[in-house]
């Protein structure tokens, strides 16, 4: 016992990072990708087999943002049992903060040539910038807001919900109500966020044209680096004492409370951190896809994020990253190859993963998953019997 | 562990090769991208347009193809997801190397793909009526601009034949097309002596399904004795519940006519139109128009889709005109090179299905006739009014002060989409 | 004589009198001169030849000329004119291409019979190509209805007469007054007489020449409560002030207006309540199946919306089959569609339960994932089978139209039926749960599965049937929703979020909570809507819901006991 404690106190972060096999693989891939892909795109000549076309780089950059988003959901769902069906809201708010900066950067290059107001405001006959747009001409302010606004919303929402001990599906449904309400609110043209069309027609970021390959490459690298940093941060949280409490809350919330922990503060902390991560993901996402609109608030998207995590493997962090890549790649692939039938595959994938791979894809790889190295079929058999046995308690 | 790592890397390599593998087999075909949602909320409207493009490609190939080559349609599904539109557009252009793209329905999807088309200098044909206020070098707009749909429609409503309306209700879904159209209409109506007190404006969310209160409000607004008419820019899914409520609350077209800009034959196919006879729509095309070209088009469509009950509509005609113009321009230019084809597009002429000729103008909008039709009990429209000759599509509305001063002209000396003076 | 002539002339189509050209005027006057002596019931004012000639005048392009012809036809009160005008109104009046004669067309299959306008006999047959329709537009339809109303004021059939009076009242045309006066003299039915006098008063107010006449009209109007009367009075007040009428008349009109407005606003509130209840009943129908699959079984059933969609598509298929077998009986197809939708959606539910959900009991969050996949597959399956476009589900006659209360409140029949239907469905479920052996077993299994199993209940079987029941009820909801909404592959997505909100608001696992939740959300929404607009109203409701859950974390009616904690 003392041994372990000593180890924890003495081993720096690097120590347990090295022992986190999945994490090491993920970080190595991220480092490799952030070197090779920009090189492949910018330096390797077109026509070479190793050339990375721009569309693929921006696609992968987009996946990285989704992976970061999935990571943030896994942090709260996999480690604290908070199933948020509204995480898309934090993602979108981060995206809007970045989008507002990019809108201000357009300056007088908009179609109506107004140096101060974005096109849609000129169009709505607004004569001056609303107060909540002030400051967004500064990059640092936008970045701070991309983290602060989702964090604040999560803090207020979490404070109310966790204090009143709203848990389980009730929490899931009200997070969904939150993102739905925001969807409707941002959808209104009178809100001053561009209504249904959202913010678009971006020109440049920090003076660099968003359409140049080098800017894209930089954004890709930034996304990869940010995903790496957030991964390490999340791993720090889950490996710390606080992380242990979180896991305990996930497994038996009442017992933790009765032991004397203020469960709501732990939950509030991790929920807010997760929302900030989602906000960062959103702010990286927007310059790469070139548009942010209320569609990102759609409850369906938030449900999909949870599905990425489940497909990859809940409670592993790197599983969430893998899941985001698998599902989104499947989506890209099937919408192109069999546009008429891809929903069958995607739907089938979700059903199959739930039934056959209860621990997600990562759980099927024996090294990462169940220690007893059971085969997939054996796992299913066990699940059926478990399911029967488990039916004792009410869900 | 090593094995696993190998397996993992193997899987990665497989995915990589699948991604990079372009459909390189048929290099000597001309590729046409089709970017219409086949799933999600917009599938209901866009699937038809995908089929239309496939039919036109099929037809073209049967007649010997283009420039001696076969034409190949590359269909993708952007799934009514706006960022996915941009991703798929980039994929079509960069990976599949298509020569032209036919696609988009909603304004937001067009706004989403616009930077991609401009960056990669490709060509998009956009076949749906829209709010105007845009002219891109890389987009040809074959649907109606507001002055080709909205303005003639209110003119008709205020005319003696249309019932001499003195109060107007503007109902719309809350997004940019209805907002813009209504803004233009309000300014136009004010100019015609209809004061703001006689205009009621109301916006609802997408897919709004409970119209009880709003229809009741319209009824109350109309009860003052002045002749009232409704201008509807309600989009897509929300129309069926709206018209059902209208019919059930007994609003007759003679009392309060409703003129719609987003309701065509396809939308009416989901409604029993007997109680709606007389309500109006303004379009550039109706299936019911009798002409040889239209009859042939409908016949071809029925044969292609294998269902005689399927209707045709205005965006289909716009797709047809766009496709035919592109074909002619390619033939004229002798290449599918975007810059050459663009130059050849200007002044290109194609016979409308409803008679007359559509002409592509240098602002990338068409000159087309405007028709106003009344709903019939069989779900078709009966043309009750049409413009004499064609109307030139305006990229920038004359009725909005900030856009009235802008000009779109992509030929020398202007060469720009939103300028106050020529570039050269 | 001159007075009668102008009265008749103006009575028929007064709005267009000023447009009638001089020769036309002479022609009409001539007709009037003939009929003035024979009014009001000339048997055959036109000779056959005249009728034919005057009808042929409809064969012109200009709407104005057509209206002139209609006025000329109706002016005379010839009973043979009404069927012709009716045919024109319905788009069944044609010009035969072969001889340019106007005939009434009657469609039998693909063949059109030509009916002679004078004799009413069939005089030929052809395909639709040899007939060109005499086009009508809204303006002409209005003119036709007014003309028919004038003709029908003296009809022998009281129903026709009533409709005519309502039409005359809507037209609010002072120059119809003399005609109405004559109709009042002859009217014997007291209810209709009262309506006629009201119509008379609305017109008399504007046309009245002495203060006494005006005061009398105001008296009659003051006791009425309709938006039309309010409009009449407010217009009168405005014009009275502008023209400087007697102060007592103005005061009386203002008083009458105030009392009408007061009563109307009360009815307006009642209307909001009704609309709220109606929205609530739709929410209830959509949510009640979920109250079973989610509330009782704990399955986060994201495929619930698709069960509703399957119900709606079943309705569509049943109608198609019905229409092809017994075209006459199709109004009843909805009756058949209810059990059919229950069975189809229920069976799909049972299949889903057996193939997917039974492996996931006790892990509600994983059911979310799997059922989301199921919902994607079902949506695409329907899209592949039926196509992406809307399907048309017909409304039976008893569900079309509305009950128009005279105070301006409109209760549409389809919504009345849906309110009733939702209550029947909820009552049915309550009975099944409370009084049947299956209900007992179901409650036993959900409360304590092992105990239920050990007393001999086949728990797996009960699970499948419970999920089937929930899905089947969603299917029934689909039948009702097909009457007010789109029947498209996206139908389910529209209702899924609202359904979850309702169930959670009411309290998971409590049927009455769902009922109360649905109606209160509906009513709150409808009261906010006129104030804040449809979008903001919905946002406020969502925020209120979030805050409410803070106050009562387990919904309106929380389950008590240990089961809650699990």
**Pairing mode, strands A204-205 and A208-209:** antiparallel
Chain C: touching chains (3 or more CB pairs < 8 Å): A, B
CB < 8 Å to B15, chain A: 329
pLDDT at C470 over 90: yes
Query: Phi/psi at C226 (nearest 5 deg)?
Result: -135, 155
Contact C373 A184 (CB under 8 A): no
B65-69, B339-343, C145-149: least confident range? C145-149
Which tokens go with C40? 């009001």
- The mean pLDDT value for A293-304 works out to 90
| Facing residue for B86 by CB, picked from A113, A289, A366 | A289
Contact C64 B48 (CB under 8 A): no
| Facing residue for A393 by CB, picked from C362, C545, C546 | C362
| Facing residue for B81 by CB, picked from A295, A329, A367 | A295
- Report if residue B279 sits inside a domain: no
Q: What is the pLDDT of residue C12?
A: 40
A14-23, A111-120, A245-254, B298-307: least confident range? A14-23
Contact B253 C485 (CB under 8 A): no
Neighbouring C-beta atoms of residue A213, cutoff 10 Å = 15
Q: What is the pLDDT of residue C377?
A: 93
Total residues belonging to chain A: 395
pLDDT at C29 over 80: no
CB < 8 Å to C286, chain B: none
Q: What is the pLDDT of residue B3?
A: 52
| Facing residue for A55 by CB, picked from B7, B83, B94 | B94
Helix (H, G, I), strand (E, B), or coil: what is residue B146?
Answer: helix
**Which of A152-161, B18-27, B264-273, C24-33 is the most confident on average?**
A152-161
- Report if residue B172 sits inside a domain: yes
Q: What is the pLDDT of residue B25?
A: 45
d(CA C220, CA C193): 13
Specify burial of residue C312 (Cβ count, 10 A radius: 0-12, 13-18, 19+). Answer: buried
User: What are the b/e assignments for B59-94, b being 16+ CB within 10 Å?
Assistant: ebbeeeebeeeebbbbbbbbbbbbbbbbbbbbbbbb
Q: What is the pLDDT of residue B18?
A: 52
CA distance A23 to chain B (A): 13
pLDDT at C211 over 80: no
Domain boundaries, chain C: 2-152, 158-245, 268-565
Angle A380-A383-A387 (CA atoms, 0-180°, nearest 5)? 145
Chain B: touching chains (3 or more CB pairs < 8 Å): A, C
pLDDT at C35 over 80: no
Query: Of B188, B4, C344, B94, whose CA–CA distance to A22 is shortest?
Result: B4
- The mean pLDDT value for B243-253 works out to 86
d(CA B88, CA B69): 25
Contact C550 A166 (CB under 8 A): yes
For A13, how many CA atoms within 13 A lie in the half-sphere containing its CB?
Answer: 10
CB < 8 Å to C142, chain B: 163, 254-255
Q: What is the pLDDT of residue A382?
A: 61
CA distance A351 to chain B (A): 19
d(CA A73, CA A91): 11
CA distance A391 to chain C (A): 6
DSSP sequence for A305-368:
HHHHHHHH-TTSSHHHHHHHHHHHHHHHHHHHH-TTTHHHHHHHHHHHHHHH-TTHHHHHSTTT
Closest chain C residue to A158, measured at CA: C550
> Packing angle between helix A263-289 and helix A139-163, nearest 10 degrees?
140
Query: Phi/psi at C410 (nearest 5 deg)?
Result: -110, 115
- Residues 373-392 of chain C with CB under 8 A from chain A are 373-377, 379-381, 384
CB < 8 Å to A62, chain B: 83, 87
Residue of higher predicted confidence among C44 and C548: C548
Looking up tokens 């105990």 gives: C451
Query: Of B138, B179, B392, whose CA–CA distance to B284 is shortest?
Result: B392
CA distance A186 to chain B (A): 11
Looking up tokens 């009201």 gives: C198
Q: What is the pLDDT of residue A373?
A: 42
CA B412 from centre of chain: 28
| Facing residue for C504 by CB, picked from A170, A310, A394 | A170
pLDDT at C378 over 90: yes
Contact C554 A299 (CB under 8 A): no
d(CA B325, CA B368): 14
Tens-digit pLDDT profile for residues C446-460 = 778 888 889 988 888
- Among A21, A52, A55, pick the best mutation site for testing chain B contact (most B Cβ within 10 A): A55
- In which domain, by residue range, is B156 found? 150-260
- The mean pLDDT value for C17-31 works out to 42
Q: What is the pLDDT of residue B14?
A: 54
CA distance A109 to chain B (A): 10
d(CA C436, CA A364): 45
What's the count of helices (H) and strands (E) in chain B, helices before strands?
Answer: 13, 18
Band (A371; pLDDT cuts 50, 70, 90): very low
pLDDT at B26 over 70: no
DSSP sequence for C273-289:
HHHHHHHHHHHHHHHHH
Tens-digit pLDDT profile for residues A51-93 = 888 888 889 999 999 999 999 999 999 999 898 999 999 999 9
Closest chain A residue to B183, measured at CA: A124
d(CA B111, CA B136): 11
d(CA B85, CA A302): 19
CB < 8 Å to B111, chain A: 197, 200-201, 291
Closest chain A residue to C562, measured at CA: A394
Contact A200 B78 (CB under 8 A): no
d(CA B78, CA B86): 9
Tens-digit pLDDT profile for residues A323-348 = 999 999 988 888 888 888 888 988 99
d(CA A61, CA C216): 80
Query: Of C29, C294, B418, whose CA–CA distance to A111 is shortest?
Result: B418
Tens-digit pLDDT profile for residues C390-408 = 888 888 888 877 887 766 6
Q: What is the pLDDT of residue C446?
A: 79
Please give the share of chain B, as a percent, with pLDDT higher than 90: 46
pLDDT at B325 over 70: yes
Residue of higher predicted confidence among B21 and C309: C309
Chain mean pLDDT for chain B: 87
Instruction: Give the 3-state secondary structure of A208-253.
Output: EECCCHHHHHHHHHHHHHHHHHHHHHHHHHHHCHHHHHHHHHHHCH
| H or E element that contains C228 | helix C227-243
Contact C546 A83 (CB under 8 A): no
- The mean pLDDT value for C378-388 works out to 90
Neighbouring C-beta atoms of residue B30, cutoff 10 Å = 21
Q: Which residues pair with B167 in a beta bridge?
A: B228
Looking up tokens 């706004």 gives: B111
Closest chain A residue to C352, measured at CA: A351
User: What are the b/e assignments for A167-177, b being 16+ CB within 10 Å?
Assistant: bbbbbbbbbbb
Tens-digit pLDDT profile for residues A234-277 = 998 988 889 899 999 998 888 999 988 999 999 999 999 999 99
Q: What is the pLDDT of residue B131?
A: 87
- Report if residue B156 sits inside a domain: yes
Looking up tokens 């949510």 gives: C287
| Facing residue for B77 by CB, picked from A53, A198, A335 | A335
Which tokens go with C322? 């019905």
Q: What is the pLDDT of residue C373?
A: 92
Contact C271 B216 (CB under 8 A): yes
Contact C447 A394 (CB under 8 A): yes
Q: What is the pLDDT of residue C108?
A: 77
Tens-digit pLDDT profile for residues C346-361 = 999 999 999 998 888 7
CB < 8 Å to B213, chain C: 272, 275, 526, 529-530, 534
Tens-digit pLDDT profile for residues C264-299 = 888 888 888 998 999 999 999 999 999 888 877 888
For C560, how many CA atoms within 13 A lie in the half-sphere containing its CB?
Answer: 0
Chain mean pLDDT for chain A: 84
- The mean pLDDT value for A287-297 works out to 90
d(CA A75, CA A331): 24
Query: Of B276, B20, C187, whose CA–CA distance to A56 is shortest?
Result: B20
CA distance C120 to chain A (A): 56
CA-CA-CA-CA torsion sign (B74, B75, B78, B82) = positive
Which tokens go with C107? 């469609």
pLDDT at A387 over 60: no
Please give the share of chain A, as a percent, with pLDDT higher than 70: 88
DSSP sequence for B7-66:
HHHHHHHHHHHHHH----S-TTSEEEEEE---SSTTHHHHHHHHHHHHHHHHHHHHTT-B
Tally of domains within chain B: 1
- A vs C, Cβ pairs < 8 A, gives 155
> Packing angle between helix C534-551 and helix C491-506, nearest 10 degrees?
40
Q: What is the pLDDT of residue B16?
A: 53
Query: Of A76, A74, A92, A69, whose CA–CA distance to A269 is shortest?
Result: A76
Give yes or no for a contact between C298 and C368, defined as CB atoms under 8 angstroms apart: no
Contact C549 A170 (CB under 8 A): yes
Contact C551 A164 (CB under 8 A): yes
Tens-digit pLDDT profile for residues C165-207 = 877 777 776 667 777 787 888 777 888 888 888 887 877 777 6
Q: Is B5 on the interface with A (CB under 8 A)?
A: yes
Residue of higher predicted confidence among C14 and C227: C227
Contact A201 B114 (CB under 8 A): yes
Closest chain C residue to A251, measured at CA: C566
CB < 8 Å to C227, chain B: 219-220, 223
Chain A: touching chains (3 or more CB pairs < 8 Å): B, C
Residue of higher predicted confidence among C399 and C362: C399
Residue of higher predicted confidence among A262 and C128: A262
Q: What is the ipTM of this complex?
A: 0.85
**Which of B116-130, B403-417, C88-102 is the most confident on average?**
B116-130
In 3-state terms, chain A is what percent helix, strand and coil (to 5)? 75, 0, 25
Q: Is B180 on the interface with A (CB under 8 A)?
A: yes
Q: What is the pLDDT of residue C560?
A: 57
Q: What is the pLDDT of residue A386?
A: 58
- Report if residue B372 sits inside a domain: no
**CATH class, C268-565 region:** mainly alpha
């Amino acid at each position: 016992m003392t041994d372990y404690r000593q180890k924890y106190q003495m081993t720096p972060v690097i120590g347990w990072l090295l022992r986190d096999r999945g994490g090491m693989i993920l970080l190595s891939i991220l480092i490799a990708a952030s070197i090779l892909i920009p090189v492949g795109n910018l330096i390797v000549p077109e026509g070479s087999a190793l050339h990375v076309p721009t569309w693929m780089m921006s696609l992968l950059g987009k996946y990285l943002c989704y992976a970061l988003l999935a990571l943030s959901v896994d942090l709260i769902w996999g480690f604290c049992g908070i199933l948020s069906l509204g995480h898309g809201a934090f993602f979108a708010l981060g995206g809007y903060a970045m989008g507002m900066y990019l809108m201000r950067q357009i300056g007088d290059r908009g179609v109506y040539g107004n140096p101060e107001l974005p096109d849609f405001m000129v169009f709505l006959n607004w004569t001056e910038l609303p107060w909540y747009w002030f400051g967004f001409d500064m990059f640092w302010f936008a970045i701070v807001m991309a983290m602060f606004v989702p964090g604040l919303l999560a803090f207020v929402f979490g404070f109310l919900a966790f204090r009143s001990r709203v848990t389980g599906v009730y929490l899931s449904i009200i997070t969904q109500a939150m993102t739905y309400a925001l969807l409707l609110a941002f959808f209104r043209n009178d809100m001053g966020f561009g209504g249904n069309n959202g913010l678009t027609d971006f020109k440049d970021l920090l003076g660099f044209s968003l359409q140049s390959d080098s800017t894209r490459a930089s954004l890709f690298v930034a996304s990869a680096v940010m995903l790496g940093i957030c991964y390490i941060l999340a791993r720090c949280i889950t490996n710390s004492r606080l992380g242990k409490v979180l896991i305990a809350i996930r497994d038996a919330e009442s017992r933790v409370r009765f032991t004397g922990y203020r469960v709501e503060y732990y939950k509030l902390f991790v929920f807010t951190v997760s929302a900030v991560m989602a906000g960062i993901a959103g702010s990286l996402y927007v310059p790469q896809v070139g548009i942010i609109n209320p569609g990102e608030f759609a409850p369906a998207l938030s449900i999909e994020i949870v599905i990425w995590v489940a497909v990859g493997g809940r409670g592993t962090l790197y599983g969430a990253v893998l899941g985001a890549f698998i599902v989104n790649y499947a989506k890209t692939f099937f919408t192109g190859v069999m546009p008429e039938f891809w929903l069958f595959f995607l739907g089938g994938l979700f059903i199959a993963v739930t039934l056959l791979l209860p621990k997600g894809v990562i759980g099927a790889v024996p090294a990462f998953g169940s220690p007893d190295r059971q085969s997939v079929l054996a796992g299913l058999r066990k699940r059926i019997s478990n399911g029967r046995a488990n039916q004792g308690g009410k869900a | 562990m090593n094995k696993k790592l190998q397996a993992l890397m193997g899987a990665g390599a497989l995915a990589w090769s699948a991604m990079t593998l372009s459909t390189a087999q048929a290099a000597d075909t001309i590729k046409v991208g089709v970017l219409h949602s086949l799933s999600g909320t917009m599938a209901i409207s866009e699937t038809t347009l995908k089929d239309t493009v496939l039919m036109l490609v099929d037809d073209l190939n049967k007649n010997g193809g283009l420039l001696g080559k076969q034409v190949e349609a590359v269909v993708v599904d952007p799934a009514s997801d706006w960022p996915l539109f941009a991703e798929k557009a980039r994929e079509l252009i960069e990976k599949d190397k298509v020569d032209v793209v036919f696609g988009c329905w909603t304004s937001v999807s067009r706004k989403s793909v616009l930077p991609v088309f401009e960056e990669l200098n490709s060509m998009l044909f956009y076949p749906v009526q829209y709010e105007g206020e845009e002219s891109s070098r890389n987009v040809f707009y074959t649907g109606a601009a507001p002055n080709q749909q909205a303005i003639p429609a209110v003119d008709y409503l205020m005319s003696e034949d249309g019932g001499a309306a003195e109060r107007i209700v503007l109902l719309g879904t809350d997004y940019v097309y209805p907002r813009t159209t209504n803004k233009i209409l309000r300014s136009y109506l004010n100019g015609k002596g209809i004061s703001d007190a006689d205009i009621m404006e109301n916006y609802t969310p997408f897919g709004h399904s409970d119209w009880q209160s709003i229809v009741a409000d319209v009824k109350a607004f109309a009860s003052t004795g002045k002749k009232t008419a409704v201008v509807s820019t309600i989009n897509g899914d929300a129309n069926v519940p709206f018209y059902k409520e209208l019919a059930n609350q007994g609003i007759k077209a003679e009392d309060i006519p409703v003129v719609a800009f987003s309701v065509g034959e396809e939308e009416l196919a989901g409604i029993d139109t007997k109680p709606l006879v007389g309500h109006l729509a303004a379009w550039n095309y109706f299936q019911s128009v009798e002409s040889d070209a239209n009859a042939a088009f409908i016949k071809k469509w029925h044969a292609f889709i294998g269902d005689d009950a399927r209707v045709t509509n205005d965006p289909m005609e716009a797709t047809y005109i766009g496709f035919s113009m592109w074909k002619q321009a390619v033939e004229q230019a002798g290449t599918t090179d975007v810059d050459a084809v663009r130059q050849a597009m200007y002044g290109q002429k194609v016979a409308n299905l409803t008679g007359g000729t559509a002409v592509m103008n240098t602002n990338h909008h068409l000159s087309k006739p405007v028709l106003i039709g009344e709903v019939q009990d069989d779900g078709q429209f009966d043309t009750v009014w049409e413009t004499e000759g064609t109307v030139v599509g305006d990229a920038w509305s004359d009725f909005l002060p900030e856009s009235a001063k802008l000009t779109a002209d992509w030929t020398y000396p202007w060469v720009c989409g939103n300028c106050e003076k020529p570039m050269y | 004589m001159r007075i009668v002539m102008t009265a008749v002339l103006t009575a028929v189509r007064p709005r267009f009198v000023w447009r009638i050209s001089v020769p036309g005027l002479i022609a009409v006057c001539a007709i009037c001169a003939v009929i003035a002596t024979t009014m009001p019931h000339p048997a055959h004012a036109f000779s056959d030849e005249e009728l034919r000639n005057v009808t042929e005048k409809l064969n012109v392009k200009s709407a104005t000329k057509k209206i002139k012809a209609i006025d000329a036809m109706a002016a005379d009160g010839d009973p043979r004119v009404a069927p012709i005008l009716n045919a024109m109104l319905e788009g069944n009046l044609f010009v035969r291409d072969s001889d340019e004669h106007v005939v009434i067309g009657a469609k039998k299959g693909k063949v059109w019979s030509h009916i002679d306008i004078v004799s009413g006999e069939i005089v030929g047959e052809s395909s639709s190509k040899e007939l060109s329709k005499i086009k009508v537009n809204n303006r002409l339809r209005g003119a036709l209805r007014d003309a028919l109303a004038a003709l029908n004021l003296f009809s022998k059939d009281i129903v026709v007469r009533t409709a005519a009076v309502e039409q005359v009242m809507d037209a609010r045309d002072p120059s119809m007054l003399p005609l109405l006066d004559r109709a009042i003299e002859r009217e014997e039915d007291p209810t209709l007489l009262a309506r006629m006098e009201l119509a008379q008063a609305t017109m008399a107010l504007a046309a009245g020449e002495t203060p006494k006449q005006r005061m009398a009209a105001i008296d009659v109007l003051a006791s009425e409560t309709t938006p039309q009367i309010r409009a009449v009075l407010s217009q009168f007040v405005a014009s009275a002030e502008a023209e400087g009428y007697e102060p007592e008349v103005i005061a009386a009109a203002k008083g009458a207006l105030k009392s009408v407005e007061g009563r109307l606003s009360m009815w307006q509130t009642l209307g909001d309540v009704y609309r709220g209840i109606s929205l609530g009943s739709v929410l209830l129908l959509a949510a009640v199946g979920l109250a079973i699959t989610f509330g009782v079984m704990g399955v986060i059933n994201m495929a619930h919306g698709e069960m509703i969609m399957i119900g709606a598509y079943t309705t569509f298929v049943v109608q198609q089959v019905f229409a092809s077998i017994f075209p006459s009986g199709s109004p009843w197809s909805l009756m058949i569609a209810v059990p059919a939708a229950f069975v189809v959606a229920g069976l799909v539910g049972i299949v889903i339960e057996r193939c997917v959900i039974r492996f996931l009991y006790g892990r509600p969050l994983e059911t979310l994932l799997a059922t989301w996949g199921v919902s994607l597959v079902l949506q695409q399956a329907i899209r592949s089978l039926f196509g992406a476009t809307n399907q048309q589900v017909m409304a039976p006659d008893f569900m079309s139209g509305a009950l128009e209360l005279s105070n301006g409140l409109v209760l549409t029949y389809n919504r009345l039926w849906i309110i009733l239907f939702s209550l029947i469905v909820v009552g049915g479920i309550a009975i099944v749960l409370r009084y049947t052996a299956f209900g007992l077993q179901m409650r036993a299994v959900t409360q304590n599965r092992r105990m239920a199993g050990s007393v001999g209940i086949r728990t797996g079987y009960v699970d499948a049937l419970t999920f089937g029941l929930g899905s089947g009820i969603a299917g029934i909801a689909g039948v009702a929703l097909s009457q007010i909404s789109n029947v498209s592959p996206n139908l389910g997505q529209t209702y899924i979020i609202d359904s979850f909100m309702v169930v959670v608001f009411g309290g998971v696992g409590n049927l009455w909570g769902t009922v109360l939740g649905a109606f209160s959300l509906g009513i709150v929404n409808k009261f906010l809507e006129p104030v804040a607009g449809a979008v903001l109203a919905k946002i406020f409701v969502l925020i209120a819901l979030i805050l409410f859950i803070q106050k009562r974390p387990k919904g309106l009616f929380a389950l008590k006991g240990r089961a809650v904690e699990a």
